[in-house]
Chain A
Amino acid sequence: MKTQNQRAWLFVTPVLFLVAFNALIPMMTVVNYSVQETFGDNLFFWQGLDWFEQVLKSERFHNALGRQFFFTFMILIIEVPLGIAIALAMPKKGPWVPFCLVTMALPMLIPWNVVGAMWNIFTLPDIGLLGYTMNHVLGISYDMTQDPVAAWVTIIVMDVWHWTSLVVLLAYAGLVSIPNAYYQAAEIDGASNWAVFRFIQLPKMKTVLTIAVLLRFMDSFNIYTEPFVLTGGGPGNSTTLLSIDLVKIALGQFDLGPAAAMSLIYFAITLFASWLFYTLMTLNDNKS
């Protein structure tokens, strides 16, 4: 006879503790804050859904959310096609392959705050290589601490520099897995270069591109360190993305209730958008 007992649960407890302490408990604390008001001294008052209402109606939140969507949209629209183009141009075999791969991977190895600091110095109008060249050699006025447009261009270019490699490497992995016979068959079938891309390369890259878009969406939607170090959200509020605004409210103003409500809304939006992306991109797979 088989012995039946509940001892197997013991093996699951470490995971349970791990998940509880790094996800469930902090998350529930946030939920707890989001429905209460505090004036310090560990005194809390029930507030209901007021904070959620306040956040959803606040113009400040709308603006930050709008900036956040604009930022994510811009970097996706640049990084994905650019990444695919670079992957297509990279050699598929030969001595240059490792060189290209390592060069591509380098930006990703640099920590976020270092990237922010690097670009900050790089763009300084008086001593930065880029800033100096623009202002004093080419004669184009460029100062991202004064001009919102320059600030936006800089954070987008910085993110493209930092993260296009991820798309490149994923797309490249998809490309090199295509057997040579596909290209030969297409050549014999008289397919144009565009048709080869559209009907062979793109479909074979689809799975990895889905992952690339999802990763880039989530990362860019939650981005904090690089723009914070580079522009600090300025000039004015022009580059204050959602995460920067959230930290300002939570740690700058110490409005724990509204900050908690905002972070839950933020979380819901990220989750929903990721689900939407994934569903749309895998929609055709199940069709027969």
Chain B
Amino acid sequence: MAQIKLSNLRHSYNPNPTGDEDYALKKIDLTWEDGGAYALLGPSGCGKSTLLNIISGLLIPSDGQVLFDDQDVTALPPAKRNIAQVFQFPVIYDTMTVYDNLAFPLRNRGRDEDIVKRRVTGIAEMLEVTEMLGTRASNLSPDNKQKISMGRGLVREDVNVVMFDEPLTVIDPHLKWKLRSKLKELHQRVKATMIYVTHDQTEALTFADQVVVMQDGEVVQIGTPVELFERPAHTFVGHFIGSPGMNVLPCDVKDGGAFFGGEQINLEGPVTGTGDGRAEVGIRPEFVSVSKDGPGLAAQVRKVADIGRHKVVEAVAHDSRVHAILEGEAPSTGDAVMLDFKQSQTRLYKDGWLASSPGEGA
């Protein structure tokens, strides 16, 4: 168990990086608190797996340090770091039984057979694989194989961190849910730090207390699922989390107010960001209301999608697309409507980054 700190981390797969674009990871400073459940969320190719492999020691970063409880482990090999990692595809030792698979990391470290037995039976019970202990691991179904891979990570009593690299990729959808809740339960029981890498927002948001969102080798935002949803620090987070993602509308900033197509949009509070960068208004579809003749922005409905629990309305205002999520009655395609943005949830972004702060009233 340890606090893990990444300090000034950079990594390039190119031996002679020249510019920023050669770096798979660009300057990461991050602290993972002991015992936390973290998710590392981002699109494919954003550097999640690179970051994970640096923490586990499979990769040595080009620059910067990895600290476990303030001790520099940057150059240590994986076996010396006391970490566990579960891979995308289940890794099991085909010729061994399930029991021997689970015992393997302990036996490699020379633990007594009594301890091995106690730990293995304990983990098997937690994972509900006790009745499979005697079978050969190669005969298991993919979800059980993945459970065994997880078990091998959890079987050591003193792991600093357990990392999951998109572990549910090969699992059938109806079993994904089961394994995910199992993981959450395991986290509460073993109290080890867990880092869960995924590009699936549902997986990230259900598993983690803290979600780290990455894009292009950079950490964009760290926060609880609620924070990420309500106050995205970057338009990328707004897009990436939520279905559909946040509406981002180009605007002009004049006298501390935001103007979209000439009409003033009431923001949550004062504009904080300075500079004259590209300004945008961000509002979640959940906070856009649609009416025939209420206040707001004139728009025309282009598409209405009924996705069961609610309807997604796509409207066009000043040549920009705006999504709204409605429950109950919805207008039909072609209707002229008024869109109203909930003021406390309307944010301003400059060059992609959040540039407004909540006002007193919000």
Interface, chain A (partner B; CB < 8 A): 179, 181-182, 184-185, 187-192, 195, 199-200, 203-204, 284, 287-288
Known: A203-B95, A288-B135, A288-B139. A189 touches B105 (CB 8 A): yes
Per the bound structure, the CA–CA distance linking A200 and B104 in Å amounts to 12
Known: A188-B83, A189-B104, A190-B105. A181 touches B89 (CB 8 A): yes
Cβ proximity bits B157-187 to A, threshold 8 Å, 1 near / 0 not: 0000000000000000000000000000000
Interface, chain B (partner A; CB < 8 A): 53, 56, 58, 77-79, 83-85, 87-89, 91, 93-96, 104-105, 108-109, 135-136, 139, 149, 152-153
Known: A188-B78, A288-B136. A200 touches B83 (CB 8 A): no
Residues of B within 8 A of A287 (CB): 136
Which of A184, A185, A203, A204 counts the most B-chain CB atoms under 10 A from its CB?
A: A185
User: Which 5 residue pairs across A and B have the least CB separation, nearest first?
Assistant: A190-B108, A185-B91, A181-B87, A190-B79, A189-B105
A–B pairs, 11, beta carbons within 8 Å: A181-B88, A182-B91, A184-B58, A187-B58, A187-B77, A188-B56, A189-B105, A190-B105, A199-B96, A200-B93, A203-B95
Tell me the nearest residue of chain A to B86, going by C-beta. Answer: A185
Per the bound structure, the CA–CA distance linking A185 and B93 in Å amounts to 10
Q: Check A185 against B87 for contact (C-beta < 8 Å).
A: yes
Q: Check B96 against A179 for contact (C-beta < 8 Å).
A: no
Q: Check A184 against B85 for contact (C-beta < 8 Å).
A: yes
Interface SS of chain A? helix
Q: Check A181 against B95 for contact (C-beta < 8 Å).
A: no
Per the bound structure, the CA–CA distance linking A206 and B85 in Å amounts to 27
Q: Check A189 against B58 for contact (C-beta < 8 Å).
A: no
Tell me the nearest residue of chain A to B79, going by C-beta. Answer: A190
Q: Check B79 against A187 for contact (C-beta < 8 Å).
A: yes
Known: A189-B105, A195-B108. A184 touches B87 (CB 8 A): yes
Tell me the nearest residue of chain B to A181, going by C-beta. Answer: B87
Minimum CB–CB distance from A56 to chain B (whole Å) comes to: 41
Residues of A within 8 A of B93 (CB): 199-200, 203
Q: What 13 new A-B contacts, CB under 8 Å, besides A185-B87, A190-B109? A: A181-B87, A181-B88, A181-B89, A184-B87, A185-B152, A187-B77, A188-B58, A188-B84, A188-B105, A189-B104, A195-B108, A199-B96, A284-B95
Per the bound structure, the CA–CA distance linking A200 and B138 in Å amounts to 12
Minimum CB–CB distance from A219 to chain B (whole Å) comes to: 28
Residues of B within 8 A of A184 (CB): 53, 56, 58, 78, 85, 87
Known: A187-B79, A188-B83. A181 touches B94 (CB 8 A): no
Tell me the nearest residue of chain B to A184, going by C-beta. Answer: B58
Residues of A within 8 A of B85 (CB): 184-185, 188
Residues of B within 8 A of A284 (CB): 95
Tell me the nearest residue of chain B to A192, going by C-beta. Answer: B108
Tell me the nearest residue of chain B to A182, going by C-beta. Answer: B91
Which of B89, B96, B104 counts the most A-chain CB atoms under 10 A from its CB?
A: B104
Q: Check A203 against B108 for contact (C-beta < 8 Å).
A: no
Residues of B within 8 A of A192 (CB): 108
